[in-house]
Structure 1
Amino acid sequence: MLRRLNNALPVPIETDDELKLFLRFHHESGNILYYSDDNLGDTIVLDPQWLIDAFKSLITARMFCCRKPNIFEKWIKFNETAILTRELIDAIWEQKENIVFYEHRDLLLNYLEKLGIIAKPHQLPRVTNETDYYFVPCVLKTPPPDELLIQKESTDRRSTSKLCLTTELRFLPTAVFNKLLAACINRLALPESDAKHLIFCGCAVLDLEGNHTIHLYFFDHVIQIWITKFSSQKEEQSNRLCSQVYAFVLDILANGLHLSDHLKVFFKCQSSQHNSNENMFSEERLSKGTDVVCHCRAGRHVLQSNELTYYWHYAEEDPEEMLTDKQISSIAGNIGKEYQALAFKLGLSQVEIDHIISDFNNAVDRRTRILLRWRDKMKKKREANLDTLTKAMKAVGIDSRTVLESAECL
């Protein structure tokens, strides 16, 4: 149809590439909506207000639904949980005043998904029945319970530092967070607690692979993200997985929402308060590699830059030789009281050792952090491997063979 209209012009656009460029220009200008996706590439929305009217008819349908008890119950649930079912969509759009929306309901829903206004939950491979409902983040009203956000380190759970994203002016509209949340709901698994999804106004907890969960929290124009690992073996969080999440979030915000020129990245320690934007350290400052002083506790404490950025920046150097998080966690659990002497031998300073001892009460946590600190320092030299660690253990009198056999590293 578009090609026929174009050919009828006195001076038509000559090629398909130029025609697509024309459409993209007017899309970016806000005059039309055009996407080259497989399910949207054959359509152009000439009046974006049409989509707004369609969405508005759903979220303002209370009076219509009041007159239909079986539908009203579903609308109340939607208003409370932001779960929009196909049955409720059809019931509203089948009305005479909305019939044009009903006739194009699949196309409209595809566009609303594309725009990040609604999100179909991620379909797990083992689930055969297709998910037949959507989340609408902007409808969420219930705040998250505090206990969901408090990071408590324990023997079976560990959390990363907090990745914080905002703009240079420290102004980030709620709509930006809602669109990021929609993208995450579409790609990540939804956990349940007491048969309820852990999605709230300005917050969500979603599942990642390998017993990891991701927390997304929005407070005072700053998006905070942290990842928790659950493990009975005291395993560390996956550096690779955390960095993939970081890349995904940056792609959504920078490219999908066009914030690349204004986005600023900060980090906070895992003990910091979620309802505060204090004690945030910029990525630029941490890239210099200097220590930073954090005031998130009653007294201040010192953090090395790589303690805050480590999990979010994945290094590809020597992946076959470099010790993994699992190996380090297992080895740390089998090293005895000689761990301080081992730390010296591995090149850590007394200041670094003292900081780790003051920050971690559990002996295994201290040993694990020491080994992680050593591995991080030795990455560029490509010496964070089993051979180097074995030599250091032997030098300080640790029975390396027994340790490595117990840790199942031999």
Structure 2
Amino acid sequence: MADVSIWDFAGQYVFYATHQVFLSRRAVYLLVTDISKHVEDTVKDDDCFLDSKGVQTLENIRWNLQVIYKDRLHDLNSTLPVPIEREEELELFLRFHHESGNILYYSDDKLSDTIVLDPQWLIDAFKSLITAKMFCCRKPNIFKKWIQFDQSAILTRELVDAIWKQDESSTFKEYDELLLEYLEKLGFISKPRQQSDEIGEINYYFAPCVLKTSPPEDLLVCSDCKNRRSTSVLCFTTTSGFLPTAVFNKLLAACIDKWPISKLNKKNLVFCGCGVFDLEDNHKLYVYFFDHIINIWITKYSTTDEEPSTCLCQHVHEFVSEFLKNRMRITSGIEVFLRCNQSNIHNNDNLFELENMSGKQEVVCNTEPVHHVHRTNELIKYWLYSDSDHQLDELTEKELNRMALHIGKEYQSLGIELGLSNAEIEHICLDYKATVDRIRGILLKWKDQNVGNATLEVLVNAMNVVGIDAVTVIETAKEK
């Protein structure tokens, strides 16, 4: 006999982003369809939002609570006839139930002290914001904020407070700060970066799944012209050729969190399936989703027609790759392509698979109105590290010492990923009191155990797996 949880996923478009909360390797999924309809028929996305209640067992774990704090969990654990004795075992217990979809638990700085015992509670909180039109229309001041949210995806704290406060039967208002942090963590909403023309603290969020307006066609032009030079277009898709819109919306949320949104005539350049972001030194990043392909390119604005910075391009490439592989856990395989910046962004006939370009000196682009030829290195140079980056060279002790200053609290997980045993890591932690010295000890131990193979490539892959921003670590270490 085993406990079972059953969930009915909401089918409306805006709820696609919430499905991932319940996706697990330890689950069976049933897709029900009406075979009397043609597979290409459009389904009307109605405004009827039905409850999706899970048949929840494991009541002995949840105690009818939505959220529990770590110290309270420790107290309850100590009252059990056979308590979990070690902190490592408790972490394993929490990670297992997180992977199973029973709870939500993250070891991040902000969320490591809390466990969401009822994931449906989190979905209901988000749903209450999206479906609050009837409530808001009775309050003119609030209704204006809701219309702004519905049309531009801008979610203000004033609107959040009003909606969650009116539902006296829920605990949304009691845990409002925590709920917003979880909604950010899951990529449902994102607080934008401070922009140069904004004064004071940012007190609003973007909800990409609510965006409805398509980007204007002239915004998607990426060819070179006077005072503007653009990279080739880097394209991501899956080997199956299917990439859910919800994945792109979460990427868009991650970009909103990382870079300031560009503006044109004081309007945010963020749309359904598209976002434009300000990078340093007059660079702009374009992120566009079309036909299951994520397209990214960077444009440099300069009176001297300077080329876009390869360092910035590679940083963006690493960021998007890490996001898809590790944060989205896309297991069907990521395929990466390039297209020239003169080709039609809506024509996928001119994609060159990145993996197959290294052996070619030139490629022919069949873009209208005329065919033209590109040197392969001119397309690749922006996005890939050159040989001078020495990713396959063994790291020196000096390089490891510099990186140790920037790796942070996930160093023990990094040690495990690099092949060190728990006992070896514990010995290092006993030998050194300072965190940075412990990190140095772990990295040097790894180097000693892998003579000739302790390379930057291996270390970067390990950092990406455990959630460390490898690009930031490497670039910051170079500055020292």
Q: Do these two structures clear the TM 0.5 threshold for a shared fold by scoring above it?
A: yes
Query: Which of 112, 115, 128 is matched with 1:41 structurally?
Result: 112
Measured on the aligned residues, the alpha-carbon RMSD in Å equals 1.8
The residue that corresponds to 2:227 in the other structure is 156
Where does 1:44-55 land on structure 2 (aligned, <5 Å)? 44-55=115-126
What residue number does 1:92 align with?
A: 163
**Superimposed CA distance per residue, residues 33-62 of structure 1 (whole angstroms, 9 cap, x where no aligned partner):** 001112211110011111100000000000
Residue 405 of structure 1 corresponds to: none
Give the SS at the match of 1:312: coil
Give the deviation of 1:276 after TM superposition: 2.2
Q: In the alignment, is the contact (CA less than 8 A) between 2:240 and 2:332 conserved in 1?
A: no
SS at match of 1:41: coil
Q: Report SS of the residue matched to 2:350.
A: coil
Once residues 138 and 215 of structure 1 are traced to their aligned partners in structure 2, the CA distance between those partners, rounded to angstroms, is 18
Residue in 2 that maps onto 1:283? 354
Give the TM-score normalised by the residue count of structure 2. Answer: 0.64
1:207 match: secondary structure: strand
* Counterparts of 1:269 and 1:47, CA distance in 2: 48
Cα pair 1:118 1:134 within 8 Å, conserved: yes
- Aligned mates of 1:98, 1:213 — CA distance in 2: 46
Query: After superposition, where does 1:65-80 map in structure 2 within 5 Å?
Result: 65-80=136-151
Give the fraction of aligned pairs with identical amino acids, expressed as a percent: 58
1:166–1:264 CA contact under 8 A, matched in 2:
yes
Is structure 2 residue 261 aligned with structure 1 residue 186? no
Q: Aligned AA for 1:251? A: E
Contact 2:234 2:296 in 1 (8 A): yes
1:196-215 correspondence to structure 2 within 5 Å:
196-215=267-286
Q: Which AA in structure 1 matches 2:86?
A: T
Aligned mate of 2:294, from 220, 223, 235: 223
Q: How does 1:21-170 map to 2 (within 5 A)?
A: 21-97=92-168, 99-123=170-194, 129-170=200-241
Question: In 1, Cα distance between the equivalents of 2:196 and 2:95?
Answer: 35
Measured after TM superposition, the shift of residue 4 of structure 1 is: 2.4
Q: Deviations over 1:166-224 (max 9, x none)?
A: 10011000000000000000010122111110000000111000100000100010000
Query: Residue 116 of structure 1 contacts residue 183 of structure 1 at CA under 8 Å; is this kept in 2?
Result: yes
Aligned residues: 319
- Give a deviation string over 1:51-106, Cα, whole Å, max 9, x none: 10000000000000111111111110110000000000011111034641011100
Q: Secondary structure at the match of 2:298?
A: strand
SS of residue in 1 equivalent to 2:236: strand
What CA distance in whole angstroms lies between the structure 2 residues aligned with 1:282 and 1:313? 14
Question: How far is 1:126 from its partner?
Answer: 9.4
> Partner letter of residue 174 of structure 1?
T
Q: Which amino acid aligns with 1:300?
A: H
Structure 1 unaligned residues grouped into runs of 5+: 320-410
Give the match for residue 271 of structure 1: 342
> Taking structure 1 as the reference length, what is the TM-score of the superposition?
0.75
Once the two structures are superposed, residues 121-149 of structure 1 have per-residue CA deviations (whole angstroms, 9 ceiling, x without a partner) of 01358966110000000000000000100
Task: Name the aligned partner's letter for residue 149 of structure 1.
Answer: L
Tell me if the contact between 1:289 and 1:306 (Cα under 8 Å) persists in the aligned partners.
no
Whole-angstrom distance in 2 between the partners of 1:244 and 1:137: 23
Q: Which amino acid aligns with 2:318?
A: A
Retained in 1: the 8 A contact 2:239–2:332? no
The whole-number CA distance in structure 2 between the counterparts of 1:98 and 1:192 is 41
How far apart are the structure 1 equivalents of 2:389 and 2:210? 47
TM-superposed CA distance for 1:290, in Å, is 4.0
What secondary structure does 1:88 align onto?
A: helix
Q: The residue matched to 1:122 in structure 2 has which SS? A: coil
Shift of 1:316: 6.7
Matched-pair contact (CA < 8 Å) for 1:167–1:264: yes
Question: Is the alpha carbon distance of 1:31 and 1:288 closer, same or farther for their aligned partners in structure 2, counting shifts above 3 Å?
Answer: farther
Tell which structure's C-alpha radius of gyration is larger.
1
Structure 1 contact 144–200 (Cα < 8 Å) conserved: yes
Contact 1:157 1:234 in 2 (8 A): yes
Give CA-to-partner distance per residue, 1:5-42, whole Å, 9 cap, x none.
Answer: 22333332221012112211211221110011122111
Is the CA contact 2:227–2:302 (under 8 Å) kept in the aligned structure 1? yes
What code does the residue aligned with 1:307 have? E
Match of 2:385 among 309, 314, 317: 314
For 1:276, the aligned partner's letter is N
Structure 2 residue aligned with 1:334: none
